[in-house]
Chains A and B, each alone.
Chain A
Amino acid sequence: MGKLFAVLLTIITIVSATIFIRHTWWMPPDYSLHGIRIDHQLAETMTASGILFVLAQLVLAGFVWRYGDRKDAPAVKRFPGGATPMVILASILVGVEILTLTLVGSKVWAGIYQAPPDPRSLHIDVQAEQFAFYFRYAGADGAFGGTHPDMIDDANGNFFGLDPANDTTARDDIVSGSLVIPVNQPILLSMHAKDVGHAFYVPELRIQQDFVPGLVIPLHFTATRTGKFELVCTQLCGLGHYNMKAYVEVMATDQFAQWLKDQAAQQ
C-alpha cells in the first residue's frame, strides 16, 4: 500500500509540474508596458515555489516508500539533529525567499499602482454598471462634463447623468461602449461605479482593478501593441454578472484620431 501510494504521489507531482513547465496553459501574450515586470515576477515565483513543491512532495513520497510497512524493522530512528536545526534552516530559507519576493515584488507593484500617472496621459472616464461598461472621452474642449446621478437615464443614452442643457463642457463628451485607445500612449482611467461593486480585468494588458461605489479610482497603463481583447468584470455584481463584458481596442495613433472624429460626429 505504501509503495503504491508513493508512486501515485510521484506521478501526480510530475504530471502537475510538467504542465506548468511546458506552459501548456499559460498567460496570453502581454500587450502592456508594465506587464513584462509582472510576468517576470510570476516566473521567478514559479521557479522558486515549483522547486519547493516538487521537493516537498518527492521527499514525502520517498519517506512513505522507505519507511512504510516495516513489520519487524529495527527501532525507530529520530530525525537527524531533531527539530531545531531544521526549523532554523527552514526559517532562513523561507525568510530569504520572502524577503526577495517582497523587495522585488513591492517595486513592481509600486511601479503600477503607486507611481503618479504620466501628465501627458489620455484621460478616460469609466463607469461600470449592471451589466455594462461605459467609457467617456472629454471631447474637443478637453474637459469632462459634471455627472448627476439623478439625471442618469439609460433609456435615452444618458448613462453618466450629464446635463448638456446647462453644462457646456458636457456637450462634446464622447461616450462609447468599448474602450478604444491609441497604442504607446499612457492612458489614465478614472473608474467609478453607478450601482454596485464591479471590476475591470484585461488579462492581455495585465491590469485588474475593482470599482467601488462612492469612490473614483485612478488606474493607468500603456498598451504597446495594437489588438482587440475582451474586458471582463471580475467582481460578482448580480444577475447578469456573467455577461458583463466589453471590448478593448488598441489602435494606431492616426486610426484612433479618426475613430474619435467619427464618434464625435455621431453624437
Chain B
Amino acid sequence: MSHPATAAPAAPHAHGPPQSFLRKYVFSLDHKVIGKQYLGLALVAVCTGMALSWLMRLHLANPDLAIPGLGKLWPNGAPGGVMTPEFYLSLMTMHGTIMVFFVLTTAPFAGFGNFVLPIQIGAEDMAFPRFNMMSFWVTFLAFLVLVSAFFVPAGPPISGWTAYAPLSAVGKDAGPGQGTGQLLWAISIGIFCVGQLLGSLNFIATTLDLRTKGMTLARLPYSTWAWFITSVIGLIAFSVLLPACILLILDHVAGTSFFIPAGLVISDTLQPHAGGSPLLWQHLFWFFGHPEVYIAILPGFGIVSQILPVFARKPLLGPRVLIACMIAIGFLSYAVWGHHMFLSGMNPFSATLFSVPTLIITIPATIITLLWIGSLYGGKLHFTTAMLFCIGFVSVFVSGGISGFFLAQPSIDVYLHGTYFVVGHFHFVMGVAAMFGIFAGTYYWFPKMFGRMMNETLGKVHFALTFIGVYAIFMPMHYLGLHGDVRRYSAFTDEYMKGSIPLHRFITVAALFTGVVQLLFLYNLVRSRFRGAPASDNPWRATTLEWTTSSPPPHDNFGGHHPVVTQGPNEYGATGQAEDYVMQTAPERRPGA
C-alpha cells in the first residue's frame, strides 16, 4: 500500500539543500552528514580509547615507567609521569566506557546506518531529520560530559564500564573519583541513552515507512536488515538503561537508596542509606549490557553479509536463514543477561537457567558463520581491503565466539570469571570483530561517501598487520586467563602471577605495534579524502541502491528521481549476459529467465 508522503514540513524530503555553513555541516538535517558526524565522533573516541589502552598496557609491562608530559596532564594520576595503580583503574573505566558506548555503538550502527540505510531503501532522508540531528548532538554532548570527568579535580571514576553499585552509588566516600567523576559518568550515559533512543526510533520508522516502490522486506539488503534489528534491540536496551541511570543519579545527588543497602561502613563512615539492592543494578545493567554486545556486533553481521557476495561474485548462501538467525539472536539476547552474574550471589539455580539460552544462542551464531564460509565456496574471490576485513571478521568472530563456550558454563566460569580469559573473549568477539566490520564498511563505502577511492595497497598492508596484531594481543589473554591472571589488576610485579609477566610484556609490544599500524589507516583516510582517485558510481559492481546514484550522492540522494526496485540484493554470479550481477533497479526480467 502507498501513502502520499506530503505530510509535515518534518517529512523527509521536504527540506531543500541548506545554504549556510552552519546548516550544511554543523546542524545539518541530512542523514549523510549526520552519519559522517557520527563516524567522526567515533574516530575521535576510538583514538582516545586506544591512547588510554596504550597507557594501560605500558603500565602493565612496566609500572615504574615515567612517561614525559603525562605528569603535567594529570599531576594527581601520574606524578612525575609515573602512573599510579589507582590511575590505571580510572583509565580502564574510561577506556571501556568510551569504546563500548562511543565507538562500538556509534560507528557501526549510528554512523554507517545513518549514511547508508536511507539510500539503500531508496528514501530521500530519515523519517525524522530533526530527531536525527538531535540524536547526534545529544550523543556528542554525552561524550563531552564523559571526557570532562578526566578534568574535574577529584579525577575520573574507577568503577569500570559496568559501574557496579554500591561503589558507583555512594559518592566520594568510596574514593575520590566516585564523587563528581562517577556522577558525570552516570549523567553522560543517561544522555547517551536519549540520543540512541531517538536514533533507534528514526531507524525503525524509516525502514518501515520510507521504502521506495518495490522494496519489499524480502528485497531489503542485509545490512539494512541488520541495522533495523539492531535498532529494535537498541530501543529495548536503552529504554532500560535510562531508568537505571536516573536511579543511580538520584542515589548520588538526592540521598535515595535504590542500590545501596543498609549498614555500609565506608571510609569509617556509617552510610545513611537503607534497604537498596546492589543486585538490582546488576540486573538492570546487564539486561541492557548483554544486548549491547549485539548492538555492537549485528551491524557487523550485516556489513559482512552485504560485502562478502560482492567480492565473492556469487549470491550469499541462505539469505533467509541469515535474517531468521539475526532475529533469533535479537530475541535471545534478552534472555541471557544473567550469565554475567553467575557468581554474583544470585540464586545458583538461576545460573543453570541462564546458561541454557546462552549456549543456545551459539546455534544461530554458528549457522551465520557457516553461511559466510559456505558463501566463499566456489566463488571468484576478489581480495579488496573490504573483503579481507570481512574474512578477518569471520575468523576473529569464530575465535571469540568459541571461547564463549567456556564462559557460558557456570561450572567453568567459577574458575575463569574475572580473569583475562573474559577480557580476551569479549575483545575478540565484540571489540575486534566489530572494529573489523567498521573497517570493512569504511573501505567499502568510502568511495560513496567522498567520491574518491581509498588506497588499496595501503589498505592491504593495514589489514595484514592489524590481523596479526589483534591475534598477538588477544589470543595470549586466553592463556593468561587459564593461568589464573585476574583482570583489573594494575601490576603483576609481586609474587602473585609473576610467571605471566613475560606474556604481559609481549601483549604490550603487540598492542603498541597494532596501534602504530592504525596510523596507516588514518593516513589513508586523510590522503584519499583529498588525493584519492575519483570513484565511479558503482566501483565494486554491487547491486544495492546506493550504487545507482552518484558518488557522493546529491542532497536528496537520487536527484529528484525515485528508484523502483525489482530485484533482491543477492543477484550475483549471473551467466550469459554482459555483467555477472543484476542491479536492484534493473528492468524486470522475463519470468523464468
The digit string for A127-159, where 1 denotes a CB below 8 A from any CB of B, is: 001100000000000000000011011110000
Cβ of B279 and Cβ of A12 under 8 Å apart? no
Q: How far is the CB of A81 from chain B (nearest CB, A)?
A: 10
Cβ of B491 and Cβ of A242 under 8 Å apart? yes
Cβ of A64 and Cβ of B352 under 8 Å apart? no
The digit string for B154-187, where 1 denotes a CB below 8 A from any CB of A, is: 0000111000111100100011101000000000
Cβ of A19 and Cβ of B479 under 8 Å apart? yes
A259 within 8 A of B: no
Most chain B beta-carbon contacts within 10 A, residue among A52, A75, A87, A105:
A87
Closest A residue by C-beta to B410: A109
The contact of B395 among A42, A49, A57, A240, by CB within 8 Å, is A57
* Residues 211 to 261 of chain B near chain A (Cβ within 8 Å): 260-261
Cβ of B381 and Cβ of A70 under 8 Å apart? yes
* Residues 79 to 107 of chain A near chain B (Cβ within 8 Å): 79, 82-84, 86-87, 90-91, 94-95, 98, 101-102, 105-106
Residues of B near A67 (CB, < 8 A) are 312, 376-381
Contact (A209, B363) CB under 8 Å given A56-B373, A201-B486: no
Closest A residue by C-beta to B262: A214
State A162–B351 Cα separation when bound (angstroms): 35
A186 within 8 A of B: no
State A206–B489 Cα separation when bound (angstroms): 19
A16 within 8 A of B: yes
Cβ of A152 and Cβ of B265 under 8 Å apart? yes
Cβ of A49 and Cβ of B406 under 8 Å apart? yes
Closest B residue by C-beta to A198: B167
Cβ of B409 and Cβ of A242 under 8 Å apart? no
Stretch at the interface among A168-176, A177-185, A228-236: A228-236
The contact of B374 among A8, A83, A217, by CB within 8 Å, is A83
Cβ of A199 and Cβ of B418 under 8 Å apart? yes
Stretch at the interface among A20-28, A117-125, A248-256: A20-28
Residues of B near A76 (CB, < 8 A) are 312-314, 378-380, 572-573
Residues of B near A75 (CB, < 8 A) are 573, 575
Contact (A63, B377) CB under 8 Å given A76-B314, A94-B362: yes
Contact (A241, B367) CB under 8 Å given A38-B414, A82-B317: no
Residues of B near A232 (CB, < 8 A) are 486, 489, 496
Residues of B near A53 (CB, < 8 A) are 398-399, 402
Residues of A near B415 (CB, < 8 A) are 27, 38, 42, 203, 206, 208
Residues of A near B471 (CB, < 8 A) are 12, 16
Cβ of A130 and Cβ of B85 under 8 Å apart? no
Cβ of A56 and Cβ of B398 under 8 Å apart? yes
Cβ of A199 and Cβ of B490 under 8 Å apart? no
The contact of B475 among A16, A84, A209, A240, by CB within 8 Å, is A16
State A179–B464 Cα separation when bound (angstroms): 50
Q: How far is the CB of A98 from chain B (nearest CB, A)?
A: 4
B360 within 8 A of A: yes
Cβ of A197 and Cβ of B164 under 8 Å apart? yes
A264 within 8 A of B: no
The digit string for B364-402, where 1 denotes a CB below 8 A from any CB of A, is: 001101110111111111110000100100110011001
A110 within 8 A of B: yes
Residues of B near A33 (CB, < 8 A) are none
State A8–B363 Cα separation when bound (angstroms): 28
Cβ of B483 and Cβ of A27 under 8 Å apart? yes
Cβ of B467 and Cβ of A101 under 8 Å apart? no
Cβ of B411 and Cβ of A212 under 8 Å apart? no
Residues of B near A154 (CB, < 8 A) are 268
| Residues of B in contact with A, size category | 35 or more
Cβ of A49 and Cβ of B402 under 8 Å apart? yes
State A155–B268 Cα separation when bound (angstroms): 9
Stretch at the interface among B196-204, B342-350, B561-569: B342-350
Cβ of B264 and Cβ of A87 under 8 Å apart? no
| Residues of A in contact with B, size category | 35 or more
Cβ of A102 and Cβ of B355 under 8 Å apart? yes
Most chain B beta-carbon contacts within 10 A, residue among A1, A76, A237:
A76
Cβ of B412 and Cβ of A41 under 8 Å apart? yes
Residues of A near B86 (CB, < 8 A) are 239-240
State A207–B399 Cα separation when bound (angstroms): 26
Cβ of B363 and Cβ of A91 under 8 Å apart? yes
Closest A residue by C-beta to B494: A245
The contact of A195 among B265, B398, B460, by CB within 8 Å, is B265
Cβ of A90 and Cβ of B366 under 8 Å apart? yes
Cβ of A63 and Cβ of B468 under 8 Å apart? no
Cβ of B166 and Cβ of A242 under 8 Å apart? no
The contact of A238 among B158, B260, B270, B373, by CB within 8 Å, is B158
Q: How far is the CB of B284 from chain A (nearest CB, A)?
A: 15
B519 within 8 A of A: no
* Residues 397 to 449 of chain B near chain A (Cβ within 8 Å): 398-399, 402-403, 405-406, 409-412, 414-415, 417-419
Residues of B near A212 (CB, < 8 A) are 278-279, 344-345
Residues of A near B356 (CB, < 8 A) are 102
Cβ of B370 and Cβ of A101 under 8 Å apart? no
Closest B residue by C-beta to A247: B495
State A235–B342 Cα separation when bound (angstroms): 13
Cβ of B489 and Cβ of A242 under 8 Å apart? yes
Cβ of A26 and Cβ of B414 under 8 Å apart? no
A-B contact pairs, 20 of them (CB 8 A): A5-B391, A16-B471, A38-B412, A60-B398, A63-B376, A63-B377, A79-B317, A86-B317, A94-B366, A109-B352, A109-B410, A110-B348, A130-B266, A149-B270, A210-B343, A210-B345, A213-B260, A230-B495, A234-B417, A234-B487
